[in-house]
A and B are shown apart, each in its own frame.
Chain A
Amino acid sequence: MNKFKFDWLILPLVGVLIVLSVWHGVAGKKIFVTDAAGAIIEEKRIGLIPDLPNVVETWTSSLPYIKEPFAKRGEMDQGILRFTWYSLVLVAQGYAIALIIGVPLGFFLGLSPTFTKMFDPLIQVLRPVSPLAWLPLGLVLFMRAGPEAGTYAALFTIALCGMWPTVLNTAVGVRAVPQDYLNVGRVLKLSRWKMLTKILIPATLPYMFTGFRLSLGISWLAIVAAEMLTGRPGAGGFLWQEYNALIYEHIIFSILTIGLVGLILDRLMSLVEARFKATS
């Protein structure tokens, strides 16, 4: 029991402390240069990396955004949970598109060797392309969509990048359906539809959920890039805006927020995944 607590609480905390101290050690610090009379003549930053905000600065500067997480003071000055919410809504939409396209595509790949030979090389080429590269293409595609062009481009990017793990895992899952189960279907002369709904989909679900979890992670990665380039309000848009506004503390704050939200999403999906693996 004690050992358990040590493993999951103490050791991670030690790790965090080490990183925080290194960060604080190399980060800059604000000092005031005074003249002989004690009047401030100059304000400057010193340290190994003078412009990197230190732990205390980051904390004090971020506090208002945490204290009032749902505040809306302006388009780009809102509480952090409100920003996160905007991002999550957009991710949810893009992710839904990714799954709706990805699952059938995965089934086609898994079921048809011809289809695989035709499209697999293309998928392997498109899969490693960064969200940052897709977004400009999305903007061009939806250029004539008016003021919503940025949103469509963002959805396009999220869906396209987030789709691949679902596609590939579904395909692997379909190929891995035990021959025994297919034989049962053949002996019973199940229709194509029944074969799909009663045997193929249930047998593939555990693989599909692994894909869904990985896809969600990538969709969340893509949102930041999409918001940065389109200037939408959200966790990623905030980060880019604060960089331009020279409030570097908020960059670190945004990074931590994005990371934490990503972690929570992944854990939630793991729970769902575990449930499905347990029942099948």
Chain B
Amino acid sequence: MSKFLEITQLVKTFPTPKGPLTVVRDFDLGLKKGEFITVIGHSGCGKSTVLSMIAGLSDVTGGVIVLAGKEVTNAGPDRGVVFQAPCLLPWFTAFENVMLGIDQVYYTASKLERTQIAEYYLSLVGLADSMHKRPGELSQGMRQRCGIARAFALSPKMLLLDEPFGMLDSLTKFELQDVLLNLWQRDQKTALMVTHDVDEALYLSDRVVMMTDGPEATVGDILEVKFPRPRTRRQLLEDPEYYRLREYLIHFLNERSHHRPGKNGQPALAHA
């Protein structure tokens, strides 16, 4: 089985005044095409660092990241990134923010076509009526909708989501998870999302990657989530399996995340 994204022996070291600090070490992960994977772990464990290395925003200290057969060396629009803070440029409207990327990627298309792409994705995320507002006039949730539209509109090879709903209240978060799932199902994009929300991970993903705590964080365990798609929140909540998986993840975060695998005899992979 060929992997669409293959991460091998990834290492990230930051220089600090006290000498180099290894944040991530021996991180291995493969994603199949069209798969939705979440990486879960405690804050500061290095999961966002892994994501920003895949995005090409942070240099790789050691190891290799291969996306669709090509090694990742720097940032590019073939990876749609949804940042934690939506990172919209405040001097542009929602529409202009999306257009900035579209102009880069679809530079051969006509102005009309490009406008249509932007409008299409903005209306898919529910911003049809407010696409000409600036981020300052939009709520947090609407800004992140725009961030999602911007990432999808570039039709990237894969999506990278860095705790995209971390700053939202739970109701808005639920809405946006559904917006994301809809778009993801429509486009069949390979997606990797970083989160610390157990329910979010189970609702969205095919597999949940659990990371051990830093420094020298790595993959502690991987959980298969086999609920049929399309999923509904309700259907999950009625399934006893959901609570078993949830318990498993929470147990990992509470107890096992503090140890690197192997050292204390935990299994490297659990079968859920």
- Residues of A bordering B, CB below 8 Å: 180-181, 183-184, 186-190, 194, 198-199, 202-203, 279-280
**A183 in contact with B57 given A189-B104, A202-B89 (CB within 8 Å):** yes
Q: A186-B57, A187-B57, A187-B77 are in contact. Are A181 and B89 (CB under 8 A)?
A: yes
A221 to chain B, nearest CB (A): 33
Q: Which residues of A are found within 8 Å of B69, using beta-carbon distances? A: none
Residues in B whose Cβ lies below 8 Å from that of A280 = 90-91
Q: Does B85 contact A (CB under 8 A)?
A: yes
Q: Does B100 contact A (CB under 8 A)?
A: yes
Q: In chain B between 88 and 139, which residues have their CB closer than 8 angstroms to a CB of chain A?
A: 89-92, 100-101, 104-105
Contact B83 A183 (CB under 8 A): yes
Q: Which residue of chain A has the shortest Cβ distance to B105 in the bound complex?
A: A188
Residue of A nearest to B87 (CB): A180
| Contact, CB under 8 Å: A184 / B77 | no
For chain B, give the interface size range. Answer: 20 to 34
Distance between Cα atoms of A184 and B87 in the complex (Å): 7
A190 contacts which chain B residues (CB < 8 A)? 100, 104
> Which residues in A have their C-beta under 8 angstroms from that of B56?
186-187
Tell me the nearest residue of chain A to B84, going by C-beta.
Answer: A180
Bound together, the chains give a CA A7 to CA B104 distance in angstroms of 54
Which of A187, A194, A199 has most B Cβ within 10 Å? A187
Report the bound CA distance from A132 to B74 in whole Å. Answer: 52
A88 to B74, CA, bound (A): 51
Known contacts: A188-B100, A188-B104, A190-B104. The answer to whether A180 contacts B85 by CB under 8 A is: yes
The CA of A190 and the CA of B102, in the complex, are separated in Å by 11
Contact yes or no, B55 A187, CB < 8 A: yes
User: CB distance B91 to A279 under 8 Å?
Assistant: yes
A227 to B190, CA, bound (A): 70
A180 → chain B closest CB, angstroms: 4
Contact among A183, A198, A202 with B87 in the assembled complex (CB-CB below 8 Å):
A183
Q: Which 9 A-B pairs have the closest CB atoms?
A: A202-B91, A186-B75, A180-B87, A188-B101, A188-B104, A187-B81, A280-B91, A187-B75, A189-B76
A3 to B6, CA, bound (A): 69
Q: How far is the CA of A189 from the CA of B75 in the complex (A)?
A: 7
Most buried by B among A180, A181, A184, A190: A184
Question: What residue in chain A is nearest B52 (Cβ atoms)?
Answer: A183
Asked if A184 meets B91 with Cβ closer than 8 Å, knowing A189-B76, A189-B104, the reply is no
Are the C-beta atoms of B100 and A180 separated by less than 8 Å? no
- By a CB distance below 8 angstroms, the chain A residues around B92 are 198
What 10 additional pairs, Cβ within 8 angstroms, besides A184-B83, A186-B75, A199-B89?
A184-B87, A186-B57, A187-B55, A187-B56, A187-B57, A187-B75, A187-B77, A188-B100, A188-B154, A202-B91
A231 to B81, CA, bound (A): 63
